[in-house]
């Protein structure tokens, strides 16, 4: 889950813009691209 993460660190680790991650975590972006989801999934798999 992203809400319990340091989103700035997630951005650095995934290469995604911090605003993109914040929008997804807050529910403002409810339709992220497949490429964005792939990067987040990879990050979360490594951290769990």
pLDDT of residue 48: 61
- 22 is a domain residue: yes
The parent domain of residue 35 ranges over 7-47
**Segment 35-43 long-range contacts (CB within 8 Å, at least 24 positions apart):** 39/14, 39/15, 40/2, 40/10, 40/14, 40/16, 42/14, 43/10, 43/13, 43/14
- 2 is a domain residue: no
Domain count within the chain: 1
- 25 is a domain residue: yes
For the chain, residues with pLDDT lower than 70 are 1, 3-4, 47-48
- 16 is a domain residue: yes
pLDDT of residue 5: 80
């Amino acid at each position: 889950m992203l809400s319990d993460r340091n989103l700035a660190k997630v951005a650095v680790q995934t290469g995604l813009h911090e605003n993109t991650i914040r929008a997804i975590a807050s529910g403002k972006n409810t339709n992220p691209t497949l490429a964005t989801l792939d990067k987040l999934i990879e990050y979360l798999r490594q951290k769990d």
